[in-house]
Structure 1
Amino acid sequence: MDGRTLTFKAQGDVLRVAGSVDEDIVAVLQERLADFVAAHRGGVVWVDVDEVDFLPSAGIGALVAAQGAALRSGGLLTLVAADGTLAARVFGLMGIEHDAELRGRPTA
């Protein structure tokens, strides 16, 4: 490994992912996404990847698979990537739907 790291911070219905997704750590991303979706089974959740600075195809696959898992459980997972971020550029090139900010969340 080259020192890249990946961190996760869950805040209610939002999971913030930061750092570098590489082939050595994509399994950790898959596991954390699966756990997050399972913990909110049937609910609406957001995965914020604004601070992801490396996102290969395996990482994109993990994110899209988590969206599918959420849908199969009766929920919805929205990817969040601000305009100009690496993730937003990648999603745009690949035609992956995402929001530029956390929208549509119920307010407390």
Structure 2
Amino acid sequence: MDARALECTARGDVLRVVGSVDEDVVPVLRERLADFVAAHRGRMVWVDVSEVDFLPSAGIGALVGAQGAAVRAGGLLTLVAEPGTLPARVFALMGIEHDPTR
């Protein structure tokens, strides 16, 4: 997969991730998440993955790692996944807390 197929768009305190998070783009996702957390150091932010159509364990690890980085920076990162979406189902199966809407 081409990394351009993964779209990460920041608008205020929300980072919207769209596309497939396959193994080839996980480093891109990690970088975008790190930049987003750094830009919002000490604040509450949301990462909306409702439009992600493929999310392997490495992608989940990147998202959970960003949550930890946000906490270490004095903030909070909440994952957003609309009900019925692939990410919402994966989060529910894995016991990962997330917000159904933002």
With the length of structure 2 as denominator, give the TM-score of the two structures.
0.96
Match of 1:98 in 2: 98
In the alignment, what sits opposite 1:19?
Answer: 19
**Aligned equivalent of 1:86:** 86
The answer to whether the 8 Å contact 1:78/1:98 transfers is yes
Aligned length: 102
Distance 1:4 1:12, change over 3 A: closer
Structure 1 unaligned residues grouped into runs of 5+: 103-108
**Mapping 1:63-82, distance limit 5 Å:** 63-82=63-82
Q: Which has the larger radius of gyration?
A: 1
| 2:56 paired residue number | 56
Root mean square deviation, CA, Å: 1.4
The one-letter code of the counterpart of 2:86 is L
User: Which residue pairs with 1:9 in the alignment?
Assistant: 9
CA shift for structure 1 position 3: 8.9
CA change 1:2–1:77 in 2 (3 A) is closer
Q: Give me the whole-angstrom Cα distance separating, in 2, the residues matched to 1:38 and 1:11.
A: 15
Normalized per residue, the structure richer in helix is 2
2:20–2:55 CA contact under 8 A, matched in 1: yes
Gaps of 5+ in 2: none
Identity of aligned residues (%): 77
